[in-house]
Structure 1
Amino acid sequence: MAALDERQLDPAIGLAGPDGSGPRETFRLFALKHGDCFVVADAHGDIQGQGDGLFVDDTRILSRYQLRIGDKEPSLLGASLSEDNILFTANSTNVPMPAPGGGMTLWGVIHIERTRILWQNRMYERVTLSNFGGSDIVVPLTLNFAADFRDMFEVRGSTRQLRGRTHEAQLSGDGVTLSYEGLDQVTRQATLSFSQAPDRLQGDRAVFNVNLPTRGGHVLYIEVGTERTATPSRVRFRAAAVRARLEMRTKRRRGASVYSSGRVFNDWLARAQADTALLTTELATGPYPYAGIPWFSTAFGRDGIISALQMMWLNPRLARGVLAFLATHQATETAPFSDAQPGKILHETRKGEMAVLRELPFGRYYGSVDTTPLYIYLASVYADRTGDMAFIDQLWPSLCAAAAWMEGAGDQNGDGFVDYQRAEESGLANQGWKDSFDSIQHADGSLPEGPIALVEVQGYVYAAYRGLARLATRRGEDAQAAYWQHRAEALRQAVETHFWMEDMGFYALALDGKGRPCRVRASNVGHLLFVGLPSPERAQRVADQLLAGAFHTGWGIRTLADTEVCFNPMSYHNGSVWPHDTAICAAGLARYGVRGGVVKLMSDTFEAAVRFGMRLPELFCGFPREQGETPIAYPVACVPQAWAAGSVFMLLQACLGIQVDGWRGEIHVNRPKLPIGIDQLTVRRLTVGEHTVDLFFQRMGGQVIASISDHEEGLVPLIVRS
């Protein structure tokens, strides 16, 4: 098949409905997830087959699921997710319909409530009908359904010349089984079962004639899963809901939590924490934050690392799970199809039919240039946060293998920079975090030839070498520590020499295969500030530009300055705003003391979150903020997205100036600031070694005062620098 760029498969491609309608807008959809199963539906609770559906292991096992009164869609009253992301509820009412004795049943007589949960590869739904009319009614309740068993990449727009065989629906008295035998010889199926036998059941619909007495009600339970189990019932629904809620409560209680004097700000914090918990999947190696729903509900190396860095100060256990998983799946051989080389860290993994058949390389794919140095950097930050040297010792062979890749195969043209060029046409053309096909360009808009050395990747490598040096020193390997420190300093000087553009007061986006700089101003440079590579004078010049109008929209930082040839505020990477990118840039500004800019970006992001219903999407359009207007959504962004949810915690850490020193068992607070409009903030159950403390921040006049809970005072020193 043709070259398949994972992110070039723009989510809008191929998602039109069978009637030719446009793609569905994911920011208006509702998602539930448990493990490797998730469901995306509209506010009615319906699945239309336009990028939504019920998915298990990267396969859509339910592509149509529509509740109708007769043949008419109910009138929507409202829809919501519970605060813990466990329950989806849709409320609707009937439109006028023929009455059994003649005439018409008025609008708004029947109330329909649909409540849905996911638990262990199974969707549970409760449909409650209530009659508020003055007479008895027979309600013709119809459920239309279908299963196309399409691979996630087909749903996203990839075409296949051959597919497997769809079997005829198997009907039983109170359910139906839909099945498909793939080209991989695996039979996948979807079973729909009902708490009562339908009055009419076909391979694509079930009809129930429900007798509703006046002021009476009726409840129907429905389950959809990969296998047939017991008959749906109230007991089964409640049991699944209880188990799902208990598991979510356990996940949300891991690590510290944050509360403030701002009610709406607290709503944002609670939603972000719940989204992080929702996307975190318990794997054999520990918790791992899946990237996002619907397109990236799987383990991504880069996304997992960034999410773990965002949450590190609050919940370092997440980083441990990410590190353990990535170490287990580190490449040990050279495989051009999957862009694997010994020592490289995983980019992503997939379980669908197309991945199994190697129709695409993403079953276990290593085509990212930044994940390997970020993996090392995460390990060093985890060690500094926890002092957990025993775990680092377990990882040490893996960390050394990753470092060997950076020094060897990671530098394809031998110029001293870590670069990328895909080994086969089926792989990703661009392999940094901006991995769409046109995200890296020269000033005239032309695409550079590889190998390409991205500016932020050199920063990650610099941070990785410095982290390795610190860890080697603690292991008593002084010679190795000196070597890695020397490598870090040599790289820093090389970046300052070859990437800096004095006339623009900025760093080049990248160097192409011939060493020519891509003289483009992009937000990637903010990541260079995040790791502390630039000199203070150059960092200030960069910071000034990131906070100026070419980048700063009023809602966050654009990925590309609006003066560049390729700027498009509606693009995926060339002018949009990504909350995680803004947060990393803010953390970089904080590192260089640009505190006012950090508070401003925190405020911008919060105000954007408010307008997105407290749930930041993966990205949104990079149009400038206008008085009285809202940020403009990117229609098919992932919602929720792990590193978008985690951005609030990275921004908050940058504001508060918190660092936990796991080696000394100390908390350091450097020139703390509170978000605009927040006068008090508490960090509860913050772990420092074996101790747990509460931190308090209070605005007093023009200062922010930090203090620690009395019951732990003296055990955990708090060192505040004003």
Structure 2
Amino acid sequence: MQETKDKPSFSKRAEERKERVLTKKESSITRGISKAIVIKDGNPFFLSEPDGSVPMDRAHGFGLYYHDCRFLSGYELKLADVKPGALASSAERGFRAHFELTNPDIRMENGKLIAKEQIGVEWMRTIDSDRLALHDVFSFHNFGLEQVEFPLSLTFRAEFEDIFVVRGLLREALGTLHPPSWQDDVLYFLYDGKDGLHRSLTIDFSPVPESRDGTTAHFQIALEPRETRQLMVSLFIAESSNRSDVRPQAHPQPELKRIEESLDRSAEEWLSKYTEIHGDSLILDRAVERSLRDLRILGSSIANEGFFAAGVPWFATLFGRDSLVTALQTLAYDPQIAEHTLRLLAQYQGQHVDEWRDEQPGKILHELRVGELARLGEIPQTPYYGTVDATPLFLILVGQHAAWTGDLTVFHDLRDHIERALTWIARYGDENGDGYVEYYGKSEKGLINQGWKDSGDAIVNTDGSLATPPIALVEVQGYVYRAKLALADLYQRAGEPERANQLRQEAEDLRARFNRDFWLEDKGFYALALQADQRPAAVLSSNPGQALWTGIADPDKAQRTVEALMGDDMFNGWGIRTLSEKERRYNPIGYHLGTVWPHDNSIIAAGFRCYGFDDAACRIFHGIVEAARHFDAYRLPELFAGFTREKYGIPVRYPVACHPQAWAAGSIPFLIETLLGLVPEAFEHRLRIVRPILPDFINQLEVRRLRVGKASADLRFVRTSEGRVSPNVLKIDGDLDVVVEPEISTAPAALHSGQPSGGS
């Protein structure tokens, strides 16, 4: 059969989809998941529709996932062959979801009518990582005055797709999917992976089905007036290189109350270790609690080292950049996970040159996958190193962690890794020797763009064309600058002043070059990037705002940059867009071409504070918190559309945004740290509070269990009658001096916690 110009062949379409997912970094080309109900405990997670179901077709991202595999891809409840309607749904606890459903009009075969809303269906769902199980309890209530009887069916689908297949990469010839089978009233799905792993899904019912048909379990429900009956369904997932380990096993009736109490206790213990934030704003309190609970949900581990997985469902794994940024955002709340993240990433640091994985000696990874495609070597994420910024961010986190803890242990333990990262910056990060860290992806299945805006069309010129590699991003140069200054301080403390002075001089030389080459005098802002032949990508983007966070910008240029970023073409009322509305490639629903990303705005606000632009930082804080109020349970998604607040009055959802997402969850906690001006100097047993500010909807804020070194402090910030914010020390445990600095100094501060003391 010949190809036609109108309709590409199957193989050509497969390659196009593969390119879109792997190299152009579209998060997904499935249909939207913006209203998905998400639960997660450890590594397994589950996404459903608001009615608790998982569609039975394939073109969606809902289902039960574990280790980059979707174990369950269809789950449907019907009453007399009719789907119940959703009334309410919630998953605020993170590991448990609650759905309330009711029946439409149901005409039975005997002609009897069960009137709509007579039957209530309460569906409680709990995910349990210890047992690799999902437990569903259905409670059927008869709210009517007469007895009702109706058939109930539950239908399932399981195909064990790799996450990249779910995201839109067409399935290649992989393993063997066995026909579903029933074994002693247990429904069993089995998949023999081409990668040598066997994967199974076992579904138990209590009571057992009255009849079975394919993958459908049938029950007959009879309810007297006001009567309630329950049905429990437990789904167990398993994977092993030994097939006998994944065969159906006898599972005792789960003690759900004990399981839920254990999960609740674990969540509360986790939260109790974090710095506590409370104020007189219910909106802020709800947003902070949601953020911290989402961070708990995204907590994962590899080899006993904890980290924040990037986001559910597409990026629920270790991402260098995302995990590092989130650890930076949360240092004021718990520095421990930052240490775990650093040690874990050091284990995977690049060892040699491998173009397939964009690996180079000393480079920090971008993404680690463990699914079938990765294990087969069909994709380079084993791990993949196509990120230009994870390496300097790794070094910044080393410095920031030390500033909060007053401890050089991590610095000493990772000393070889730190030196190798610095060598990567000097040698591989700057292959053309122009003094800037740039990227040029070499893997045929790797990313085209390798900064945080890593979609294929993210880095553009004013005429709409794509920037030409090698590409040196504006914020990445700032990261390198900040990293070298942070490490210079640690080398100085470790008794190596010569190395410290060398790094400071390299940082100063970079700062001078940067302000000469990236600045666009006629436009009044920094270029998005320098591309081949050092030509600027001269569009107005959000990236220079992140450069301000590092302190690399000259103060006069910082002022003009802030003015540009806060213009109506950039600030849409909720936050700063990724690309100006005036640029040719602007797209309010383009992944990186005009959307608003909460984490981006949190870093930009810290940059504004670095140069004394407190009002602009407050506007960002206010917009992001107000945006959170419009999302379910105050959960900020990965991103939202760039449409103006004035136009719709609510932030417009991005259809396939991850939620929860790690650095989105870290954004409001980091913004609070930013506005309060918290600057740790743990080596000196000191906490500086620099120009604390609060938005007008908050008059009082309390911070409890804030750790600096081995000490902790409880603080209260109160707005005075003159409009200033006055900090008060409520309690100090340990050796700590709290110093308040209300005035603006004349230069940006050395950024130890993302917080500044300088001004314009």
TM-score bracket, shorter-length normalisation: over 0.9
- Note the 1:320-719 alignment, pairs <5 A: 320-613=339-632, 614-626=634-646, 629-701=649-721, 702-710=723-731, 712=733, 715-719=735-739
- Secondary structure of residue in 1 paired with 2:689: strand
Specify which of 274, 277, 286 is matched with residue 296 of structure 2.
277
Moved more, 532-541 or 240-249: 240-249
Q: 1:189 Cα deviation (Å)?
A: 1.2
Q: 1:231 Cα deviation (Å)?
A: 4.2
- Note the 1:105-120 alignment, pairs <5 A: 105-120=114-129
d(CA) in 1 for partners of 2:631 and 2:499? 49
Contact conserved, 1:522 with 1:559, CA < 8 A, in 2?
yes
d(CA) in 2 for partners of 1:667 and 1:44? 49
Q: 1:217 Cα deviation (Å)?
A: 1.2
Q: 1:104 Cα deviation (Å)?
A: 0.8
Q: 1:7 Cα deviation (Å)?
A: 7.0
Deviations 1:496-520, CA, capped at 9 Å, x for gaps:
1111111111111111122111111
Amino acid at match of 2:99: A
Deviations 1:231-278, CA, capped at 9 Å, x for gaps:
463x52223222222222222222201001111221111111111111
d(CA) in 2 for partners of 1:506 and 1:362? 36
Moved more, 182-191 or 430-439: 182-191
Which residue of 1 is the match for residue 86 of structure 2? 76
- Secondary structure of residue in 2 paired with 1:663: helix
Amino acid at match of 2:729: I
Deviations 1:538-566, CA, capped at 9 Å, x for gaps:
11110111111121100100001111111
d(CA) in 2 for partners of 1:510 and 1:710? 47
Residue 74 of structure 2 is aligned to residue 64 of structure 1: yes
Specify which of 33, 40, 52 is matched with residue 62 of structure 2.
52
Which residue of 2 is the match for residue 151 of structure 1? 162
Deviations 1:174-222, CA, capped at 9 Å, x for gaps:
3111111222232211111112210112332111112222221111111
d(CA) in 1 for partners of 2:136 and 2:172? 36
Moved more, 441-450 or 343-352: 441-450
Amino acid at match of 2:236: G
Q: 1:99 Cα deviation (Å)?
A: 4.9
Q: 1:574 Cα deviation (Å)?
A: 0.7
- Note the 1:85-100 alignment, pairs <5 A: 85-99=94-108
Contact conserved, 2:21 with 2:167, CA < 8 A, in 1?
no
- Note the 1:113-128 alignment, pairs <5 A: 113-120=122-129, 121-128=132-139
Moved more, 219-228 or 97-106: 97-106
Moved more, 190-199 or 429-438: 190-199
Q: 1:160 Cα deviation (Å)?
A: 3.3
Contact conserved, 2:307 with 2:337, CA < 8 A, in 1?
yes
Contact conserved, 1:559 with 1:573, CA < 8 A, in 2?
yes
Note closer, same or farther for the CA distance 1:148–1:583 as it changes in structure 2 (3 Å cut).
same
Residue 17 of structure 2 is aligned to residue 10 of structure 1: no
Query: What's the TM-score, normalizing by structure 2?
Result: 0.91
- Secondary structure of residue in 1 paired with 2:161: coil
Segments of 5+ residues of structure 2 without an aligned counterpart are 1-14, 239-247, 743-760
d(CA) in 2 for partners of 1:558 and 1:169? 48
Amino-acid identity (%): 37
Moved more, 429-438 or 327-336: 327-336
Contact conserved, 2:133 with 2:237, CA < 8 A, in 1?
yes
Specify which of 313, 330, 333 is matched with residue 314 of structure 1.
333
Amino acid at match of 2:150: V
Amino acid at match of 2:668: V
d(CA) in 1 for partners of 2:147 and 2:109? 9
Amino acid at match of 2:513: A
Q: 1:524 Cα deviation (Å)?
A: 0.5
Amino acid at match of 1:146: R
Segments of 5+ residues of structure 1 without an aligned counterpart are 16-22
Moved more, 239-248 or 222-231: 222-231
Amino acid at match of 2:102: T
d(CA) in 2 for partners of 1:344 and 1:711? 41
Deviations 1:517-546, CA, capped at 9 Å, x for gaps:
111111110111000001111111101111
Residue 140 of structure 2 is aligned to residue 140 of structure 1: no
Q: 1:100 Cα deviation (Å)?
A: 7.8
d(CA) in 2 for partners of 1:153 and 1:366? 18
Amino acid at match of 1:704: V
Contact conserved, 2:279 with 2:701, CA < 8 A, in 1?
yes
Contact conserved, 2:528 with 2:540, CA < 8 A, in 1?
yes
Contact conserved, 2:388 with 2:437, CA < 8 A, in 1?
yes
- Secondary structure of residue in 1 paired with 2:534: coil
Q: 1:442 Cα deviation (Å)?
A: 1.7
Contact conserved, 2:21 with 2:168, CA < 8 A, in 1?
no
How many residues align structurally? 710
Which residue of 2 is the match for residue 265 of structure 1? 284
d(CA) in 2 for partners of 1:499 and 1:587? 21
Moved more, 246-255 or 35-44: 246-255
d(CA) in 2 for partners of 1:615 and 1:262? 17
d(CA) in 1 for partners of 2:277 and 2:44? 29
Moved more, 550-559 or 701-710: 701-710
Residue 223 of structure 2 is aligned to residue 239 of structure 1: no
Amino acid at match of 1:573: H
Which residue of 2 is the match for residue 38 of structure 1? 45
Residue 214 of structure 2 is aligned to residue 214 of structure 1: no
Deviations 1:601-640, CA, capped at 9 Å, x for gaps:
1111111111113111111111122166211111111111
Specify which of 217, 235, 254 is matched with residue 224 of structure 1.
235
Contact conserved, 1:656 with 1:669, CA < 8 A, in 2?
yes
d(CA) in 2 for partners of 1:536 and 1:436? 31
d(CA) in 2 for partners of 1:5 and 1:110? 44
d(CA) in 2 for partners of 1:494 and 1:189? 57
d(CA) in 2 for partners of 1:179 and 1:78? 34
Which residue of 1 is the match for residue 204 of structure 2? 193
Contact conserved, 1:554 with 1:624, CA < 8 A, in 2?
yes
Contact conserved, 1:418 with 1:458, CA < 8 A, in 2?
yes
d(CA) in 1 for partners of 2:257 and 2:25? 39
- Secondary structure of residue in 2 paired with 1:695: strand
- Secondary structure of residue in 2 paired with 1:462: helix
Amino acid at match of 1:91: E
Moved more, 279-288 or 181-190: 279-288
Which residue of 2 is the match for residue 19 of structure 1? none
- Secondary structure of residue in 2 paired with 1:514: helix
Contact conserved, 1:5 with 1:437, CA < 8 A, in 2?
no
Which residue of 1 is the match for residue 113 of structure 2? 104
d(CA) in 2 for partners of 1:252 and 1:569? 36
Contact conserved, 1:7 with 1:435, CA < 8 A, in 2?
no
Contact conserved, 1:9 with 1:156, CA < 8 A, in 2?
no
- Note the 1:248-259 alignment, pairs <5 A: 248-259=267-278
